[in-house]
Structure formats: structure tokens, C-alpha cells
Amino acid sequence: MSPVTDRPWRTAALLLPAAIAAAHIGPAATWLPGVRLRLFPALSGTGRRRHVALTFDDGPDPESTPRFLDALDDLGVRATFFLLGEHVVRHPELARETARRGHEPAVHGWTHDRPWRPAPLRDAEELARTVRAVRDATGHRPRWYRPPYGILTAGRWSAARRAGLRTVLWSAWGKDWTADATPSSVRAHVAADLRGGGTILLHDSDRHAAPGCWHSALGALPALVESCRRAGLTIGPLHEHGAPVAPAGGGRRI
């Protein structure tokens, strides 16, 4: 092959890895709130205008999750818990108790990793394994998936669909994973973005965050719930949230 005719093949060989990487990580752009809220309201967890979905990531954790379950009982609120498969198999009784108290189990993945390299077969196997673990522990088949860090790749989106899971991120978060988070800061971060029809992201564990940071989310719960109720909003799990009915931002602020 002559140098002239060889040039397109060389160019293709150079561009192919970049194209594969772009296809893999491209959906992660939905992590950006503006992109997600405007273009993918369902992915943001946008639901009925008078409802707010309360969700927690990273459990079950025997140190902290029971405290959240008790607090939610006291507040008369049910939520959706996105569970990690490796934690579920270590603490199946806690996953079972979460469901027994009326909360909705969902899938957060098997481990809390960052998916920078394409691994579609591993993604499919791990999500299927997590679905089985959650179902076996709780008696409920999960219907929702949220990827760790909110980083949605093409492989994980496809794996979730094959596993019968609907992917949902959030519209308001408390930034409760940092060492300097406080109940007041968590409440302020949520209030800045939350509208009726929104989905709140908090964490019921510090295993993948600053040690002890879960205390901030726990301490923020009463004020968050009270603010929503004062605004005439009902708080509950995702399965009560309803299908998206309006662009994000159309609901009432807390």
C-alpha cells in the first residue's frame, strides 16, 4: 500500500479510539444540570408538580441507615433508597428492613466506581447481579437505576435497559458528602434548586464520602420536609412521583 493510500487508514486508526471514548462517555453530559433539566426532564426525575421525590444513595450502611429509617418514620415520610449490591449482600437484613418500613429499594450499582473505561459486559453483569441481590434481600424487584456519581455512560444506560431499570438522576442535591457540610448547608443547597415535581438526592452513608458527613443530611431532614409541606408539596418515593408533566422549573419552589 502506498503512503498516499495508507493515509486514510492511519487517520481512521487514530480517530477510532477517540470515537469509541466519545460514544462511551458522551451520555455523561447529562450530569450537567442545565443539560439534564432542559433536555431530559425524565432523567432529572421530574414528576407531578405537587410532589417531591426523596432519594438516598450509597446504602445500606449499618452505622447510619437505621438512623435515617427512624427519622423518616418520625416524619411520616417514605423514600427511595439506591442501594449498592456489595453492601446489600453484606447487610441483607438492613436492606430487608428498609423495604419493610415502606421505602422503595432501587439500584445504585454493584460498587461505587467511576466508569472511565468502556466495559459493557461488566456493566451488564454487575447491574443484573445487583438487581438479583436487591430482589432476594427485599422481596421487591427494583425499577430504578442511578449510576455512581451520576456518571451515565452508554454502556451503563444500555445495561440498565436490559435489566429492566429506568435511569433517573436528580434535580436538587444537598452536597452532603463533603467534610464541611452542615444541616443548614444541605438544606440551602436543596432549596436553591428544588421545585415541585423535583427529585432530591441525599446520602444515607459516608462510605464513599467524608467520614461522618451523613450527620448533615440526617440533621437537614426535618427542615426539608417542613419546607416542602409548607409549600403544599407531598414528599414520597419515586414510584409515587408520576410521569413528567411539565418542563423542569414549572413547579412551586420550597
Q: Please say if the pLDDT value at position 183 is more than 70.
A: yes
Evaluated on CA atoms 88, 93, 98, 104, the torsion sign reads: positive
Is there a contact between 69 and 97 (Cβ–Cβ < 8 Å)? yes
pLDDT at 192: 95
Three-class SS of residue 57? strand
Task: Give me the residue spans of the domains in the chain.
Answer: 25-240
Q: Which fold has domain 25-240?
A: TIM Barrel (3.20.20)
Measured between alpha carbons, how far is 28 from 36 in angstroms, rounded to an integer?
Answer: 10
Measured between alpha carbons, how far is 209 from 120 in angstroms, rounded to an integer?
Answer: 26
Catalytic residues: 57, 203
Which tens digit of pLDDT belongs to each residue from 41-76? 668 889 999 999 999 999 999 999 999 999 999 999
Instruction: Name the band, by pLDDT with cuts 50, 70 and 90, for residue 120.
Output: confident
Which tens digit of pLDDT belongs to each residue from 186-206? 999 999 999 999 999 999 999
Is there a contact between 84 and 109 (Cβ–Cβ < 8 Å)? yes
| Cα R_g (the chain), whole angstroms | 20
Q: Please say if the pLDDT value at position 164 is more than 70.
A: yes
Between residues 124 and 8, the one the model is more confident about: 124
Looking at this protein, which amino acid is placed at residue 251?
Answer: G
Measured between alpha carbons, how far is 180 from 113 in angstroms, rounded to an integer?
Answer: 23
Give me the percent of the chain exceeding a pLDDT of 70. 77
DSSP assignment of 205-249, as one string? --TTSSTTTHHHHHHHHHHHHHHHHHTT-EEE-GGGT-S--S-TT
Q: Please say if the pLDDT value at position 107 is more than 90.
A: yes
C-alpha cell at 196: 415541585
| b/e per residue 98-129 (b: at least 16 CB within 10 A) | bbeeebbbbbbbbebeebeebbeeebbebbbe
Q: Please say if the pLDDT value at position 28 is more than 80.
A: no
* No. of helices (H) and no. of strands (E), the chain: 9, 8
